[in-house]
């Protein structure tokens, strides 16, 4: 098969000292960036893009790509250890990962996260190797109606994640929608809820919300209770996942890989959405949904696999069509252009060296990252032994830099603080914070694609049933909602 031939060519290109070095360097930087709270692959890629000017196109692209998926490996570290997301795609890992750490099982959580990332990343690249052009041709047909239906499915999945009172959960989702509306309405260019402020016209920055709601809130909760001791009171029990962990995790890993890969393909999708929906999926399918939020390893295995698979999924449209599906891949596209390469459907035939070189590097990169991250588990776990009074100021400092790095705007620090205090108060009153974040992420895409769908349809809302994929997803959402309503009497209202 020609794919194998191409792949072998790619390996030939990648296995040179230079390119291997760039792959390793990118993996290291990606892991570092993932670990640092708030600083994510987008910021890192934007900052490091100029460094690639002096490299060959292959070297530069390999490094940038490895930063992207490397960050998905590292992002789970602070989520699990400190309940502070390393970046937006690791928010859900906080929910169960940190609980596991509190039970002394940080090592197992970190290990499963790393292995899940490896499995998903590698599976994603394998699919990419053989099916990239075909998949791309299908993905490009995904238009606003399909996007809308997918986002509806996502919101419905969010409802599964609500643990406490459904009324409070619904309130949080609605609040997410409202907060997402602050800024400029992309559909018609009008300002909403900005009250003349330039800062607000940019919208509320996701990273500031996430770090505030999960990071600062967590710190505030902890400093209440902890005096001069370490964060985790439990003795650290073993560094590696047990057999039971494996048995529980392998299916979520596979499901997460599949789901994440598909979500990476669609516009506006990507690792963040993939992680949320994987979590909701695992909770829905689990025999013990009440265990979620209390240290269920499926809640780590699924999302961490999903976000890595989404990287491979989102790179496919870039390499096969020249179409970016999120901000990070848009940047990769720009990097190609700067290196004098014309992305587009002809890329694979015009520059097979570059295409297959990048694909091959993803295999190598995933292996490197696994070899890098597994031994680090032992190191990271030692961090938990640092007294909290020393740990938290440093972590807060890093969080501040991380949030600031998003837009270089001090206003975002106020947003972070505001959401931190709000999250602290609301968590005391037993409000679920995760649904707010998911709604906040999905709402703009949902609203935009609905209005685009209606704008492009001569028959108004009928377009939603005329297109098969859209209709299918909407019907599935309705069925899920019905199933949920039926289970509610047991869930408590």
Partner 1 sequence: MKENTIVLALLSALLVTPAAAQNDDAKAELARLKPNDFPTAPIEYTVVYPAGGGMDVTARLLAKYVEKWSNDRIIVNNRTGGAGMVGHAYLATQAKPDGYTVGIIANLMWGDAMLRAQGRWTYADLEPIGYLNSDALTWVGPTEGPYKDMSVKQLVETAKDKPGTLRVATVPGSMWDYLIEQVETNTGAKVLRVPFQGGGAGINALAGGNVDIAQGFYSEFRGLADAGKVRPIGVAASERLSFLKDTPTINEALGGNEYQWFVIRFAVVPKGTPEDRKAYLGAAIRAAMKDPELVAEYLKAGVYFDPKLADPSRMQANLNAYVEAERAFYVKTGRLK
Partner 2 sequence: MAALLRPPVMFERAINAFWILLGAAAAAYAWTLGLIGASGPESGLFPFLAGLIIMGAGVVLLLRSASENIVPDFPRGDALWRVLGVIAGLAFMAISIPFLGFAVAGFITMVILLRTVEKSSWWFSLALALVAIVVVVWLFGRILGMALPRGPWGW
In Å, how far from its chain's centre is CA 88?
6
Residues 87 to 126: which contact partner 1 by CB under 8 A? none
Task: Determine, following the binding rule CB under 8 A, whether residue 152 of this chain makes contact with partner 2.
Answer: no
Choose, by CB under 8 A, the member of 126, 171, 239, 327 that binds partner 2.
171
Q: Which residues neighbour 281 within 8 Å (Cβ) at sequence distance 6 or greater?
A: 157, 255, 259, 302
The one segment of 69-77, 123-131, 273-281, 326-334 that binds partner 1 by CB under 8 A? 326-334
Residue 310 CA neighbour count, 13 Å, CB half: 34
The distance of closest approach from Cβ of residue 445 to partner 1 in the complex, given in angstroms and rounded to an integer, is 11
- Nearest CA to 102 out of 212, 276, 230, 240 is that of 230
Residues 293 to 322: which contact partner 1 by CB under 8 A? 321-322
Closer CB to partner 2, 489 or 492, in the complex = 492
Closer CB to partner 1, 195 or 243, in the complex = 195
Task: Determine, following the binding rule CB under 8 A, whether residue 133 of this chain makes contact with partner 1.
Answer: no
Closer CB to partner 1, 78 or 448, in the complex = 448
Choose, by CB under 8 A, the member of 80, 149, 219, 232 that binds partner 2.
219
Closer CB to partner 2, 202 or 374, in the complex = 202
Choose, by CB under 8 A, the member of 20, 174, 182, 202 that binds partner 1.
202
Task: Determine, following the binding rule CB under 8 A, whether residue 345 of this chain makes contact with partner 1.
Answer: yes
What is the Cα gyration radius of the chain?
A: 22
Listing DSSP states for 46-97 in one string gives HHHGGGGGGS-HHHHHHHHHHHHHHHHHHHHHHHHHHS--SSGGGHHHHHHH
The binder of 44, among partner 1, partner 2, none, by C-beta within 5 to 8 A per type, is partner 2
Closer CB to partner 2, 237 or 430, in the complex = 430
Choose, by CB under 8 A, the member of 451, 469, 471, 480 that binds partner 2.
451
The CA distance from 490 to 493, in Å, is 9
Closer CB to partner 1, 103 or 457, in the complex = 457
Tokens 């238009």 correspond to what residue? 143
Listing DSSP states for 310-368 in one string gives HHHHHHHHHHHHS--SSHHHHHHHHHHHHTT---STTHHHH-HHHHHHHHHHHHHHHHH
At residue 183, the 3 state secondary structure works out as strand
Helices 17-35 and 2-14, interaxial angle, to 10°?
Answer: 90
Task: Determine, following the binding rule CB under 8 A, whether residue 26 of this chain makes contact with partner 1.
Answer: no
DSSP state at residue 186: T
Task: Determine, following the binding rule CB under 8 A, whether residue 393 of this chain makes contact with partner 1.
Answer: no
Closer CB to partner 1, 59 or 144, in the complex = 144
Tokens 């940190």 correspond to what residue? 98
Answer for the pair 360, 14: CB distance below 8 angstroms, yes or no. Answer: yes
Choose, by CB under 8 A, the member of 17, 198, 287, 429 that binds partner 1.
198
Choose, by CB under 8 A, the member of 2, 141, 188, 468 that binds partner 2.
188
Phi-psi region of 204 (alpha: psi -120 to 50; beta: other; left: phi over 0): beta
The one segment of 74-82, 99-107, 117-125, 339-347 that binds partner 1 by CB under 8 A? 339-347
The binder of 168, among partner 1, partner 2, none, by C-beta within 5 to 8 A per type, is partner 2
Task: Determine, following the binding rule CB under 8 A, whether residue 353 of this chain makes contact with partner 2.
Answer: no
The CA distance from 21 to 46, in Å, is 20
Task: Determine, following the binding rule CB under 8 A, whether residue 22 of this chain makes contact with partner 2.
Answer: no
Strand partners, 230: 387
Residues that bind partner 1 (CB under 8 A): 42, 45-46, 49-50, 53, 140-144, 183-184, 186-189, 191, 196, 198, 201-203, 267, 321-324, 327, 330-335, 337-338, 340, 342-347, 407-408, 448, 451-452, 455-458
């Amino acid at each position: 098969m020609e794919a194998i031939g191409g792949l072998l060519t790619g390996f030939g290109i990648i296995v040179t000292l230079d390119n291997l070095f760039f792959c390793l360097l990118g993996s290291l930087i990606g892991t570092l960036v993932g670990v640092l709270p708030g600083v994510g692959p987008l910021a890192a890629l934007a900052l490091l893009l100029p460094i690639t000017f002096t490299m060959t196109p292959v070297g530069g692209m390999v490094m940038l790509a490895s930063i992207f998926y490397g960050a998905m490996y590292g992002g789970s570290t602070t989520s699990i250890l400190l309940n502070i997301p390393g970046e937006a795609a690791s928010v859900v890992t906080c929910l169960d990962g940190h609980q596991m750490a509190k039970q002394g099982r940080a090592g197992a959580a970190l290990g499963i996260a790393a292995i899940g990332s490896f499995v998903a990343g590698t599976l994603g690249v394998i699919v990419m190797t053989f099916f990239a052009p075909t998949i791309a041709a299908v993905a490009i047909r995904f238009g606003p109606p399909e996007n809308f239906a997918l986002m509806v499915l996502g919101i419905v999945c969010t409802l599964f994640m609500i643990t406490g009172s459904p009324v409070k959960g619904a309130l949080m989702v609605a609040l997410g929608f409202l907060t997402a509306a602050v800024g400029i309405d992309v559909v018609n260019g009008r300002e909403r809820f900005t009250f003349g402020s330039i800062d607000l016209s940019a919208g509320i920055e996701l990273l500031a919300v996430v770090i505030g709601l999960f990071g600062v809130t967590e710190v505030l909760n902890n400093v209440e209770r902890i005096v001069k001791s370490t964060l985790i009171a439990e003795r650290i029990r073993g560094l590696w996942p047990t057999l039971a962990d494996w048995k529980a995790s392998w299916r979520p890993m596979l499901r997460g890989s599949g789901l994440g890969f598909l979500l990476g393909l669609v516009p506006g999708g990507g690792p963040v959405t993939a992680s949320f929906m994987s979590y909701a999926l695992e909770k829905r399918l689990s025999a013990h949904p009440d265990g979620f939020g209390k240290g269920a390893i499926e809640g780590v295995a699924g999302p961490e696999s999903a976000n890595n698979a989404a990287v491979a999924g989102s790179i496919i449209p870039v390499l096969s069509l020249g179409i970016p599906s999120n901000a990070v891949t848009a940047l990769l596209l720009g990097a190609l252009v700067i290196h004098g390469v014309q992305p587009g459907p002809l890329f694979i035939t015009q520059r097979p060296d570059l295409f297959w070189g990048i694909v091959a590097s993803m295999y190598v990169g995933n292996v490197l990252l696994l070899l890098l991250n597994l031994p680090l588990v032992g190191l990271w776990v030692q961090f938990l032994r640092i007294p909290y009074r020393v740990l938290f100021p440093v972590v807060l400092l890093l969080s501040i830099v991380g949030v600031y790095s998003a837009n270089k705007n001090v206003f975002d620090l106020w947003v972070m603080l505001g959401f931190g205090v709000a999250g602290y108060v609301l968590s005391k009153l037993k409000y679920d914070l995760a649904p707010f974040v998911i709604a906040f992420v999905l709402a703009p895409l949902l609203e935009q694609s609905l209005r685009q769908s209606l704008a492009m349809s001569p028959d108004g809302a009928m377009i939603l049933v005329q297109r098969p994929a859209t209709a299918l997803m909407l019907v599935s959402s309705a069925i899920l909602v019905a199933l949920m309503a039926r289970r509610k009497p047991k869930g408590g209202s």
